[in-house]
Structure 1
Amino acid sequence: MVPWQSLDPDWVLADAFYQQGYSWAGFIVAACAICAINTVLLSSLFYLQQIISAMAADGLFFQVFAHLYCRTKAPVVSILVFGILMLFLVLLLDLEALVHFHSIGVLFAHSFMAISVIVLRFQKPSTSSSQDQEQALTPEPGQLRSALRPYLSFLGGCRPGAAVAWALGVLVASAITLDCVLAFGDSALNLPTWGYTLLLLLSSITFLLSLLVLGAYQQEKQQDTFQVPLVPLTPALSILLNIFLMLHLSYLTWLRFSIWLLIGLVVYFGYGIRHSKES
């Protein structure tokens, strides 16, 4: 057995094989890791241009990035601009900083996607007149389930969607609190044992109660398309785990992410919100 303290933190598995005398296995593991990192970075480079081009076509970003080359239909401007920007980031930052920066972006995007799944599931879809007649017999999404109305009468007075929005906000807040307690409860918070246990129980109960409130409302059902199963449980667990992983990243990663997020919000509220084709 190899003590974990003696392993290189950047190449833990490969270094473990090297220290055990299996240099060939360590070389294979290191080569696979390098290929995986390059694959992630290259895929990010490719799909980033498509996202920027689609946002520009919808009016959320500057229209110059929506221009497509006439022969290949490739977003030439976005490829040049953001390709050069990513090249500078690769030259300025080390590999660990790039991996952490990419990780926090992906985790944040997946958390936002999970929240969007819950919002859309309890939202009434836009339908035609013929579909409205078919759905007239089914309960409207966002309304309290008829079987639970006698037991949850205090929620019946809320307008459709209001209780769902409040429950979703409480769920996200309780998930952040619960993850902070789990990640920093013993070190950063300096709480006594009873205080740590009490905060852990309160945040867990609040998370479960908000999950139960969401489950008490009618969801939108479509039989002809794929839908995420076990909503709201599946996206709620995704939010909880993603935030927990994000909290274990370094402070510098959070600082870089906050700066880029602030830049994105400035672009959106300064340009995108006024030029969006969806108004």
Structure 2
Amino acid sequence: MPAASQPLLGRLLRTKPVEQLSSDGEHSALRRSLGLLPLIALSVGATLGTGIFVVLGAAAPKAGPAVVVSFVLAALAALFSALSYAELAGAVPVSGSAYSYTYATLGELVAWICGWCLLLEYGVSVAAVAVGWSGYLNAFLDSTIGWHLPAALSNAPGVAGGVVNLPAAVVVLLATAVLLGGVRESAAVTTVTTLLKVAVLVFFVVVAVFGFRTQNLTPFAPAGLAGITGAASVVFFSFIGFDAASTAGEEARNPQRDLPRAIIISLVVVTLAYVLVAFTAVGAVGVDTLGRSNASLATVLAKVTGAGWPATVLAAGAVIAIASVVLTVLYGQTRILVAMSRDRLVPPVFARVGRRRVPTVNTLVVGGIVAVLAALVPLGQLAEATSIGTLVAFGLVNVGVLVLRRTKPGLRRSFRTPLVPFVPLLGLALCVLLVLGLAPVTWLAFGIWSVVGLVIYFSYGARRSALNERPSTTTPDS
């Protein structure tokens, strides 16, 4: 039966064959130029800095000193999901990340929902990090030349006299320009800035530990478990770096071997860094001080040392390092759109590759939209909106591992998630726990975003899907 003439439910549940996904990856117009080290740098670069440089100050007041536990809880949820990601990345090494994995396991409608959540996750997280970058830029300018941008040009509307966050928009546009130069050049920039970022955080821990006071850790959890899970929900988006690595499936030289390794290694590195920095920061100045600045780590060093130069060093490193997060996460979003466009669920222009073998129009459109978000939306709202999209996508990946184990038991897997079904089920349960800790306004925004996505799918994607041209269709139970 032609796919387009099947009943509506059958079309919504049809899956894209794993063999077709693999074929798309093998014949991709994107350039395969990334080895293991650039993939790790991409993954760490997309993650390390997001939660520590930017969101620690927003999360600490929610949980108190127990924000350290919030990072551990978020890391556990990320770990279980990362193990599921690693299996699917090795089995289905294509650009679409969780979107492609759910298309192969849970059907077209769920894949669309997942892809739509990923667009929210990536786009809003880039904007959130850009806002944090703006705060560190002002801290750097203030400590070096005694001048900073006025609030009207460095804050979003509604935040301390803000009109437009100009630096946040500028860093997004600069990252867009780098991406247009080619993936190999972007990877080189990412590797250098990631090494710098690690060095800056090591410097922070060494200095902050001298100001550590145990009294800053009491009361440890003033808001109890609700505060810990609420803060974990906010910082969870800080762990999306390994998801960014999985979007490079069509540009990795040996994706089945290197993607699972890059995902696991990067998560371990990032979790250790987050816990160490959060613990020393809270112990040095307490949660109240952290919550009063977008450049919270620079504030810690200034208070601990009583001198300006440590904060200047950290702010300078952060200005460069956080820019790499903007670059790598923006990269991930464009590659997800490539996969969705190739499946014709979004217009084909998003998959069109230019002479440098990068999706030129795609990159320009994404960069422009994210720059507007960064300029006009406050940090706290951006962080929570990112978390809900991330948690939904990660939950679907955990389900996808279980489904693919059942439907394709003989599929070649370069990495196998241990203790199936327990690890994917724990990953799913933790995602549900964290998503329930998000604020009602975040749920409202997510509901509106989802409705808009469904309207686009039924009015455009479902009618033009590449699966409509196939002579038969499969479902998750086939």
State the secondary structure of the residue aligned to 1:20: helix
Distance in 2, Cα, partners of 1:16 & 1:31: 15
Moved more, 21-30 or 267-276: 21-30
Q: CA deviation at 1:243?
A: 2.5
Distance in 2, Cα, partners of 1:119 & 1:253: 30
The residue that corresponds to 1:207 in the other structure is: none
1:244 aligns with 2:447: no
Distance in 2, Cα, partners of 1:37 & 1:247: 29
Of the candidates 334, 345, 350, which is equivalent to residue 49 of structure 1? 334
Q: CA deviation at 1:36?
A: 5.5
The residue that corresponds to 1:108 in the other structure is: 392
Q: CA deviation at 1:96?
A: 3.0
Distance in 1, Cα, partners of 2:364 & 2:286: 43
Distance in 1, Cα, partners of 2:327 & 2:456: 25
Distance in 1, Cα, partners of 2:368 & 2:463: 28
More helix by share: 2
1:75 aligns with 2:264: no
Distance in 1, Cα, partners of 2:398 & 2:460: 26
Amino acid at match of 2:347: F
Q: Supply the RMSD in Å over aligned alpha carbons.
A: 2.8
1:58 aligns with 2:343: yes
State the secondary structure of the residue aligned to 1:103: helix
Cα–Cα, structure 1 residues 59 and 252, in superposed 2: closer, same or farther, change >3 Å? same
Q: CA deviation at 1:265?
A: 1.7
Amino acid at match of 2:456: V
Distance in 2, Cα, partners of 1:29 & 1:50: 32
Distance in 2, Cα, partners of 1:33 & 1:243: 32
Amino acid at match of 1:254: W
State the secondary structure of the residue aligned to 2:290: coil
Q: CA deviation at 1:253?
A: 2.9
Cα–Cα, structure 1 residues 240 and 272, in superposed 2: closer, same or farther, change >3 Å? same
Distance in 1, Cα, partners of 2:425 & 2:306: 42
Q: CA deviation at 1:233?
A: 1.1
The residue that corresponds to 1:8 in the other structure is: 290
Q: CA deviation at 1:16?
A: 4.5
The residue that corresponds to 1:86 in the other structure is: 370
Cα–Cα, structure 1 residues 62 and 72, in superposed 2: closer, same or farther, change >3 Å? same
Cα–Cα, structure 1 residues 107 and 36, in superposed 2: closer, same or farther, change >3 Å? farther
Q: CA deviation at 1:12?
A: 5.5
Amino acid at match of 1:260: W
Amino acid at match of 1:38: A
State the secondary structure of the residue aligned to 1:56: helix
Q: CA deviation at 1:114?
A: 1.1
1:99 aligns with 2:383: yes
Of the candidates 447, 451, 456, which is equivalent to residue 258 of structure 1? 447
Q: Which runs of 5+ in 1 are unaligned?
A: 126-219
The residue that corresponds to 2:181 in the other structure is: none
Distance in 2, Cα, partners of 1:29 & 1:246: 32
Distance in 2, Cα, partners of 1:226 & 1:58: 26
Q: Could you tell me the TM-score, scaled by structure 1's length?
A: 0.56
Q: Percent identity?
A: 35
Cα–Cα, structure 1 residues 56 and 268, in superposed 2: closer, same or farther, change >3 Å? same
The residue that corresponds to 1:154 in the other structure is: none
Q: Which runs of 5+ in 2 are unaligned?
A: 1-212, 217-284, 469-478
Cα–Cα, structure 1 residues 47 and 5, in superposed 2: closer, same or farther, change >3 Å? closer
Distance in 1, Cα, partners of 2:288 & 2:343: 52
Cα–Cα, structure 1 residues 36 and 273, in superposed 2: closer, same or farther, change >3 Å? farther
Amino acid at match of 1:256: A
Number of residue equivalences: 183
More contact order relative to length (CA 8 Å, sep ≥ 6): 2
Q: CA deviation at 1:32?
A: 5.7
Q: CA deviation at 1:117?
A: 1.3
Q: CA deviation at 1:25?
A: 5.5
Distance in 1, Cα, partners of 2:306 & 2:422: 44
Moved more, 83-92 or 257-266: 257-266
State the secondary structure of the residue aligned to 2:415: coil
Q: CA deviation at 1:106?
A: 2.1
